[in-house]
Structures are given as structure tokens and as C-alpha cells.
Amino acid sequence: MTLNEQQRMIQETARRFAQTEIVPHLKEFEAHGVSEKLIQKLGQAGLMGICIDPEWGSAGADFVSYVLAMEEISAADGGIANLMAANNSPVLAALNDHGTQAQKERFFPGLTSGEMIGCFALTEPHTGSDAAAITTRAVRQGNNFVLNGQKQFITAGRRAGVAMIVAVTDPTAGKRGISTFLTPTDNPGYKVLREETKLGHRTNDTCALSFEDMVVPKTDLLGQEGRGLGIALANLSVGRIGVAAQAVGGARTAYEAALAYAQEREAFKKPIMEHQAVAFRLADMATQIEAARQLYLHAAQVHESGAPSLKEASIAKLFASDMAEKVVSDALQTFGGYGYLEDFPVAKILRDVRVYRIYEGTNDIQKMLIARALTSD
């Protein structure tokens, strides 16, 4: 597709930010986590609330611009891209679509500026893709709700200043008994049980949370009571387009590193790029990356048009995440033994891209959603 001026500008802003503010500090961020200063710089660059109206200090850009920026940040580091994704969508997207004016005035300035970051507390220890099976309870007591339960795999669970929490408000109503809250994390009932040690995405904090008699005012309800599952699932669907963009970013960096290495490394008295086996492998990698990019851009355009995009989002996420693992593995193969060393870039990327086949709905779930859409069209 041909990008418009704003899309190109945001893409270039994100690319420049990634190369100047993230790449030179990756080893430090991998060892100690991303700094609060970097989150603030992301906000100052307009990357923490890309699609939010300019009246809140944001770019007011379209969704295509957002996923283009996501690819660029992910090309530098997947974990930081995931922090940015959690803040932009679902947290800010849900607040934009369902929040009251008072909630927007309360949370938009901090979330878009990078002064604080949001987390999305949906997944629980016993529920992954089956979001309707959550058991965290929110019991009404006067003008408040009291929350009790646990959440698992929550990106930015420790550093977040505000949490979007999905909980059961009416256990007799099934899917219509689930509600969403947007509430500060400085509540004494909000507890971080642990920060997980992960295979990849080591630059962000992924946490297990506990809510222990956490008193939340009813004014922190996001949208109508009983509509929380729909809010959560709608944003998960859109988020899958962002995951596809993240996958493309990681794969692209691995491919570029492998291409450069293949032109420098010699075997049998010539660069290995001149050996057909290596050249064809790189040709396949380039083709797969471009195909995945076009799928996520198409899904983003469909979403931006206002048309249903669940199938397109699932297709983009499924293809791009599978592609990323294969392309990065092929990049490692191109490096040979050096690819297996942490001193070279591909090992880290391989650790980072594996999660794209898991979060925002596993790829098995994506196949189910795509198959269901095929028979309902």
C-alpha cells in the first residue's frame, strides 16, 4: 500500500526513536528492564497514544500509523514494543471508546505523555484463551466494588500506574456478568505477587497480580456494568494486528542482520551469499516478511474503515507470528555457530518472537476464529 504523509512521518519518527533511544541501550535494558525515562521519551515522541485525539496531546493518527510504529519499535526490541502496545491498545483504546469524560480527563494526560503506563489485567492462572472463564470477583458494596482474585502474565503489572481489570460482577449472568474497571494501582488491595522470569521480552515486567479486598469506586467502571467481556475481546481482536506488526519487526531485524552477514562471511573463497542455498533462503525470508507486512496493513485498513476485522486480524497474527519464528530461525542458520551465541543479535530475537504465537490468543485459537468466520461470511 502507499502510505500518506502522516503515516510516513510517524513511521520515520518511530524508526529514528528505535535506533537512537533503544538500540544503543539494549544490553542495559535486557539486564535491568526499561527505564522510566525511556517510557517518558516514548510519550514525548507521541508513541504512547498514537490514535488519541490531539486535544489530549497525542498525534490523533490512524490505526495504520500505529501498527507501522509498532513494527519499528519491535524491530529494536519486542519487549518495549509490548509495553507500548499494552498502553495504546487495549488501555487507551478502551478508554477512548468507553470512558466517561471524567475518566478521560483523569487518565489521558498521564497515559499519553508517558508519565504513567497502563496494564491490562484479563488472564488468570487457570484461564488463558478462554476469557469468559475468569473468576476474579467484583462485589458491589454501596458506591464501591470490592475485588478479589488473581491475574497472570500481566505486562507492566509492576510499573503500571493504572490497571484495566476485567472481573465478574454477576456470576449468574454468564458472559453478561463480566465488567471492566479502569483504576489506579496505588490501591492497597493491588498486589504484585511476583515478576516472572521469561524466555524473552526481558526488557518489560510481566507479573502475577493479586487483588485482596481491593475497594474500587463505581466511577471506575469502564463502560456499562456487564459489558466488560465485549470490551476486552474487541480490544484483543484489534491487538492481534499489533502483534502481527511486532512479529514483522523482529523478523525484519533478524533478516537484515543475516543478509549483511551473508555478504561479509566467506566460505569456499567467496561470500556465502553467492552460494545458492544461502541466497535462496534469504529470498524466502524476504518474501515471507513482505507477505506478513501486507497482511497486517490490510487488517489495519479494514479496522480503520469501521468494518469488522476479526478474521483479517486473526489471519495477520497467525501468519506473521508463524513467519517470525521460521525467519528468525533461518537467520540463525545463516550465521551458523555464531548465531547460537548471545554476542550476536539473532539469539535474543529468537527468544523474543516465540511469544507472538501465544499471546493475544494462541495460534490454535486464531485458526478456530478464522474457520468460524469462513462459514459465517
Return the active site residues: 360
- Would you give the DSSP letter of residue 65? H
Q: How many CA atoms lie within 13 A of 7 on its CB side?
A: 14
Contacts of 254 (CB under 8 A, 6+ apart): 327, 328, 331, 332, 345, 346, 349, 350
Q: What are the φ and ψ backbone dihedral angles of 328, each rounded to 5 degrees?
A: -70, -35
Q: In whole angstroms, what is the distance from residue 369 CA to residue 131 CA?
A: 14
Q: How many CA atoms lie within 13 A of 30 on its CB side?
A: 17
- Contact 11/77 with Cβ under 8 angstroms? no
DSSP letter string, 329-371: HHHHHHHGGGGGSTTSTHHHHHHHHGGGGTTTS-HHHHHHHHH
CA angle 13, 14, 17 (to 5 degrees): 85
Handedness of CA 117, 121, 125, 127 (dihedral sign): negative
**Is residue 269 packed enough to be buried (19+ CB in 10 Å), middle (13-18) or exposed (0-12)?**
exposed
- Would you give the DSSP letter of residue 222? -
Q: In whole angstroms, what is the distance from residue 208 CA to residue 210 CA?
A: 7
